[in-house]
Chains A and B, each alone.
Chain A
Amino acid sequence: MAKRILIADDEPNIVASLEFLMEQAGYEVKAVADGNEALAAVASFRPDLVLLDVMMPGRSGYEVCEKLKGDAATRGVKVVMLSAKGRDVEVAKGIDLGADAYVTKPFSTRELAAKVREMLGE
C-alpha cells in the first residue's frame, strides 16, 4: 500500500508543486492550509510523513511538530519542516522540538523527494 504524505502549508503556490511532486513519487497525498487542520488530518488521514511549513495561520509548524512528537500515538510520524526562516537558531529550534529534518526554502525538489524516500525507508 502506498505511503501517505500530509502537506501543511498555507501557500497554494508551493502546495501545488509539492502535491504534484509527491504524487509523481507514488505517494498518497493530502494538503491542508493551517496548523489546526494539520493536527486533525494527522488523526484522520494517518500520514507516514508530514511536510510542515513553519509559518501558518492557526498553529505554527513549531507547535504542530511539538504536539505530534509529544503524543505517543503520533510520535512515529516523520516530520520534515519547510521554512523560509533560515537562521541557525530557527533550525535548531525545529530540530529540538522533534522535527526529523529541517529544510530551508528554497530547496531542490529532487533532493526533497530523495530525502522523503530515505526517511520512509524506501
Chain B
Amino acid sequence: MNARLAAAVTLFAGAALAVIAAGAAALVADLAPEERAQLASLATPARIGLAAVFAAALVAVLGVLLWRLFEQTVGPAARLAGGARLIAGANPGHRIAPEGLPELRDAAAGVNALAESHAALQADLDAKIAAARADLENERTRLAALMSELAQAVVVCNREGRILLYNAAAQRLFAGDGAALGLGRSVFGLLDRALVVHAVDELERRLGAGQEQATQFVTAPPAGGLLRVHAAAVIAQDRLDGYVLLLADVTTEIEADARRVALFQGLTETTRAALANIRAAIENLLEYPDMAPERRARFAGIIRDEAVRLSERLDGATAALSEELKVQWPLEDVRGEDLVTLARRRVESRHGLLTKLEDVDAALWVRADSFSLAQGLAYLAGRLKDEFEIREVRFRLQRGERHAHLDLLWRGAPLSSETAFAWENDAFRAGGEDSPLTLKAVVERHGGESWYRRDLPSQSAYFRFVLPLAGTAPRGRVAAATASRPEFYDFDLFRASAAYSALDERPLAELGFTVFDTETTGLQPSAGDEIISLGAVRIVNGRLLTGETFEQLVDPDRPLSPESVAVHGITPDLLDGQPRIVEVLPRFHRFAEETVLVGHNAAFDMRFLQIKEPVIGLRFDQPVLDTLLLSQVLDPQAQSHGLEAIAARLGVDVVGRHTALGDALVTADVFLRMLPLLAQRGIRTLGEARTASQATQYARVAY
C-alpha cells in the first residue's frame, strides 16, 4: 500500500515538474529575440533559484495534499471492504469504525446499518430454522438415547465403512482398543476388512435378489476374543447406503458351544463303542448256543462290564452337561414380580395348573437366572400335579433379612421330607420339562438355599427359594437420567464420498480434522525442549466433537524452566508418574489417523512431533493446516495473528487458554469460523487452503 502511494506521489511530482518545465519552455519559445535577451538579463541565477524553489514548493504542497487525500480515501476504503467481508462472513457482530472522507464515513455508517438489518434478519431466520430443526433434532436425540441405552453394541457405517454412529455398549466393547472407535473413522480399524467387505457384498446381493437384507459373521478382532456381528442394510433410493452392525462378544458362548459339542461327540463315540461290544457278544451267544461254557462266561462278562461302563459314562456326561448349563445364563438383576410372572406362565402353559399370587413384594429386585428358576418352579409344580394331583399353586415373594424369599405354596396331601429331598436332586424331567439341571444345582448357582416346609393344621406346604437381592439401584436405568451425551452420531457422514487418497481435491467442509496443541518445556525442540502436554479434538463434517478428545500430560524427563511454568502453569509434580512421550505419541498417532492436522502455529508443534518420529517408528505425514497462516490469508492487514486476537476478531469465546486441550478447542472453534471466510475467497478444498497458506509470509518461518 505504501509503495503504491509512494509511486503515485512520485509520478505526480514528476508530472507536475514536467508540466511546469514544458510551460516555461513554451513561454520562452514564444518570446521575440529581444524579449528573450530581456528575460535572460532578468534571469539571474538567484531569480532562477527562487523560481525553482517556488516550483518545488508548489509540487511539494500538492504532493502532501495528494498524500492526505490518499490517506483519507484508499486506506479507509480497503478497511471498509475488509470489514464488510468480515461482517458478511465470520462475524456478523463486527462493526466498522468510520474514518476518512465524510463520504467514506457515511459509507461505513451505511454498511453498519446494513449489518444491523442483516443481523436482525439473520436472527429471525435463525429462529425459524431452529424451530424447524427442533423436530429433526428431537428424532435424532431420541434415536441416540435409544441407542445409548441398548445393551447390545451398535455401530452404523456408511457404504465406505466410515463410522456414523455408535453407542455406549460399542464403546465399552472396544474400550481396550485405544481410539479406534470414533465418528468418521474406518470400521476396518475394528473389524477384519475382508469379512466386512464380504458381508456388504452379501447385503448387496440380497438387495438385488429381493431377499432379507441382513447377514452375520463371527470375527476375531485385534483386541482379542470373538465377536458375532449382525449386519443389516441401510437402504436409500433402492441402493445400499450403509449398514448397521450389531455386535456381541460371543467368546464365552462359543467356547461353551465347543465344549458342549465335544461332550456330545465324545458321548456318542463311547456309547457306540460300548454298544458294539455288547451287541457283538450277545449276537455270538445267540448265534452259537453250543459254545464252550468258559467262552460263554467270557461273553456274558463282557456284556455286564460294558453295560456298567456305559452307565458310568452317561452319568459323567450328564454331570458335565449340568455344569455347562449352570454357566449358560448369567445372573441378572430382575424385578421379583417379573420373575414370578415368568414362572406362573410356565406353570400354566406347561402343566395346566391354576396359579395365584399371595403377597408379592412389587418393589423387590433379585439377582437371578430367571429362566432356570422358572424352569425349576414349573418342574416342582409338574411333579405336584403328576404325583399328588395338586390343581392349584400359589406364589409368594417377600423380603427376608438379606435375601428375597420366593415360595411355591399349595394345599393338599403333604410331601414326606424324603420325597422333597429326592425331588431337589432329580433332573428336571417331569411333565414337559426336559433338562439335566436339578433344583439343587439351580439353588447353588444363586448362592442360596431351598427347603420344604409343611403346616399340618392348615394342610398347606411350601418350597422356599432364598435368592440374593439385587444391588440397591437396578442397573441400566440410572444412565437414562444423565443429561449430556457425547456426540456419538453423525448421519451427515452418509454423504461423505469414498476417496481418501485425493484429499487435496476434497472440500474442507467434508474432511475430518484433528485440531491439536502442545505445551512444552521451552521453545526449541532442537535444543532438547520436550512436550509436556498434548491436547486434541476432532472435527468431522464441520462439527466439533467435544465427546472425542485427547488429553495427556507427558513426563518430559527434564526440568521445567520457570518461564514456561509461568505460561502453562504445569508444575513438575503434576508430571511425576505421567507416561513418557514414546508411549503417548503412538496413541496420538492413532487418534489423528486419517485426518488432517490443524494447529495454531502448527509448524512449531509439528517440529516437536516430527523430531520424535524416528524414536516411535511412526510418521505424522498427514496434511497440516495452520490457523496462523490461514489468518494471514484472510486478513493480511491485521496487526496480530495471535490466537486470542484472531478469536476476538472472529467472535470466539476464549476459555481455558494455555492448557493443551483448551487451546486446541479454541483453535478448532477459530478454524470452523474461518471455513466460510475462506470459501468467500474461493478457497474451498484442502489443496487450495494449503497453497494459499504457503504463499503467506509466515509460512517461511521455520523452527
Q: Which A residues lie at the B interface, using CB under 8 A?
A: 11, 13-14, 16-18, 20-21, 24, 55, 82, 84-86, 104-110
Report whether B272 and A21 are in contact in the complex, using a CB–CB cutoff of 8 Å: no
Q: Which of A13, A18, A20 has the most CB of B within 10 A?
A: A13
Report whether A14 and B280 are in contact in the complex, using a CB–CB cutoff of 8 Å: yes
Binding stretch for chain A, among B75-83, B243-251, B283-291, B404-412:
B283-291
Q: What B residues does A14 contact at CB under 8 A? A: 273, 276-277, 280
Report whether B272 and A109 are in contact in the complex, using a CB–CB cutoff of 8 Å: no
Chain B residue with the shortest CB-CB distance to A103: B276
Report whether B269 and A16 are in contact in the complex, using a CB–CB cutoff of 8 Å: no
CB within 8 Å of A: which of B407-421? none
Q: What A residues does B275 contact at CB under 8 A? A: 105-106
CB within 8 Å of A: which of B255-303? 268-273, 275-281, 283-284, 287-288, 291, 295, 298-299, 302
Q: What A residues does B270 contact at CB under 8 A? A: 84
Partner of A21, one of B277, B278, B280, B302: B280
- Nearest CB on B from A17, distance (A): 4
Q: Which of B272, B273, B287, B299 has the most CB of A within 10 A?
A: B273
- Nearest CB on A from B201, distance (A): 29
* 10 interchain pairs, CB-CB under 8 A: A11-B273, A13-B277, A14-B276, A14-B280, A20-B291, A24-B287, A55-B269, A106-B272, A106-B276, A106-B279
Report whether A24 and B278 are in contact in the complex, using a CB–CB cutoff of 8 Å: no
- Given A24-B288, A86-B268, A16 and B281 touching (CB < 8 A)? yes
- Nearest CB on B from A27, distance (A): 15
Q: What B residues does A110 contact at CB under 8 A? A: 283, 287
Q: What A residues does B284 contact at CB under 8 A? A: 17, 20-21, 109
Report whether A20 and B268 are in contact in the complex, using a CB–CB cutoff of 8 Å: no
Q: What B residues does A13 contact at CB under 8 A? A: 277, 281, 302, 305-306
8 tightest A-B contacts by CB? A105-B276, A17-B280, A84-B272, A106-B276, A106-B275, A109-B283, A84-B273, A13-B277
Report whether B299 and A84 are in contact in the complex, using a CB–CB cutoff of 8 Å: no
- Give the total number of A-B pairs whose CB atoms are below 8 A apart: 67
Report whether B277 and A20 are in contact in the complex, using a CB–CB cutoff of 8 Å: no
- Nearest CB on B from A11, distance (A): 7
CB within 8 Å of A: which of B57-72? none
- Cα(A107)–Cα(B270), bound, Å: 14
Report whether B277 and A86 are in contact in the complex, using a CB–CB cutoff of 8 Å: no
- Cα(A34)–Cα(B580), bound, Å: 62
Report whether A16 and B272 are in contact in the complex, using a CB–CB cutoff of 8 Å: no
Report whether B273 and A108 are in contact in the complex, using a CB–CB cutoff of 8 Å: no
- Nearest CB on A from B5, distance (A): 93
- Nearest CB on B from A42, distance (A): 23
Report whether A104 and B272 are in contact in the complex, using a CB–CB cutoff of 8 Å: yes
Partner of B283, one of A16, A82, A108: A108
Q: Which B residues lie at the A interface, using CB under 8 A?
A: 268-273, 275-281, 283-284, 287-288, 291, 295, 298-299, 302, 305-306
- Cα(A106)–Cα(B509), bound, Å: 73
Report whether B276 and A107 are in contact in the complex, using a CB–CB cutoff of 8 Å: yes
Known: A14-B277, A108-B279. 13 other contacts (CB 8 A): A14-B273, A17-B284, A18-B280, A20-B284, A20-B291, A21-B280, A21-B284, A84-B269, A84-B273, A105-B272, A106-B279, A107-B276, A110-B283
- Nearest CB on A from B273, distance (A): 4
Partner of A16, one of B271, B279, B287, B299: B299
- Nearest CB on B from A117, distance (A): 14
Q: What A residues does B302 contact at CB under 8 A? A: 13, 16-17
- Nearest CB on A from B263, distance (A): 15
- Cα(A54)–Cα(B428), bound, Å: 37
- Cα(A108)–Cα(B287), bound, Å: 11
Q: What A residues does B279 contact at CB under 8 A? A: 106-109
Report whether A16 and B268 are in contact in the complex, using a CB–CB cutoff of 8 Å: no
Q: What A residues does B283 contact at CB under 8 A? A: 17, 108-110
- Cα(A13)–Cα(B276), bound, Å: 9
- Cα(A69)–Cα(B287), bound, Å: 34
Chain A residue with the shortest CB-CB distance to B309: A13
Q: What A residues does B287 contact at CB under 8 A? A: 24, 109-110
Q: What B residues does A104 contact at CB under 8 A? A: 272
Chain A residue with the shortest CB-CB distance to B302: A13
- Cα(A82)–Cα(B280), bound, Å: 13
Report whether B295 and A20 are in contact in the complex, using a CB–CB cutoff of 8 Å: yes
Q: What B residues does A16 contact at CB under 8 A? A: 281, 298-299, 302
Partner of A106, one of B278, B288, B295, B299: B278
- Cα(A18)–Cα(B271), bound, Å: 18
- Cα(A85)–Cα(B291), bound, Å: 32
Chain A residue with the shortest CB-CB distance to B271: A84
Q: What B residues does A106 contact at CB under 8 A? A: 272, 275-276, 278-280
- Nearest CB on B from A74, distance (A): 26
- Cα(A16)–Cα(B298), bound, Å: 9
- Cα(A106)–Cα(B277), bound, Å: 7
- Cα(A17)–Cα(B287), bound, Å: 12
Q: Which of B278, B280, B295 has the most CB of A within 10 A?
A: B280
- Given A13-B305, A84-B272, A86-B272, A109 and B288 touching (CB < 8 A)? no
- Cα(A47)–Cα(B306), bound, Å: 29
- Cα(A105)–Cα(B276), bound, Å: 5
- Cα(A86)–Cα(B281), bound, Å: 21
- Nearest CB on B from A60, distance (A): 13
- Cα(A110)–Cα(B275), bound, Å: 16
Q: What A residues does B291 contact at CB under 8 A? A: 20
Q: What A residues does B280 contact at CB under 8 A? A: 14, 17-18, 21, 106-107, 109
- Nearest CB on A from B680, distance (A): 70
- Nearest CB on B from A41, distance (A): 21
Partner of A105, one of B273, B288, B295, B305: B273
Q: What A residues does B278 contact at CB under 8 A? A: 106
- Cα(A14)–Cα(B305), bound, Å: 12
Q: What A residues does B269 contact at CB under 8 A? A: 55, 84-85
- Nearest CB on B from A21, distance (A): 6
- Cα(A11)–Cα(B275), bound, Å: 13
Q: What A residues does B288 contact at CB under 8 A? A: 20, 24
Q: Which of A14, A86, A107, A108 has the most CB of B within 10 A?
A: A14
- Nearest CB on B from A84, distance (A): 4
- Cα(A40)–Cα(B268), bound, Å: 31
Chain A residue with the shortest CB-CB distance to B298: A16
Report whether A17 and B272 are in contact in the complex, using a CB–CB cutoff of 8 Å: no
Report whether A17 and B268 are in contact in the complex, using a CB–CB cutoff of 8 Å: no
Q: What A residues does B272 contact at CB under 8 A? A: 84, 86, 104-106
Report whether B273 and A17 are in contact in the complex, using a CB–CB cutoff of 8 Å: no
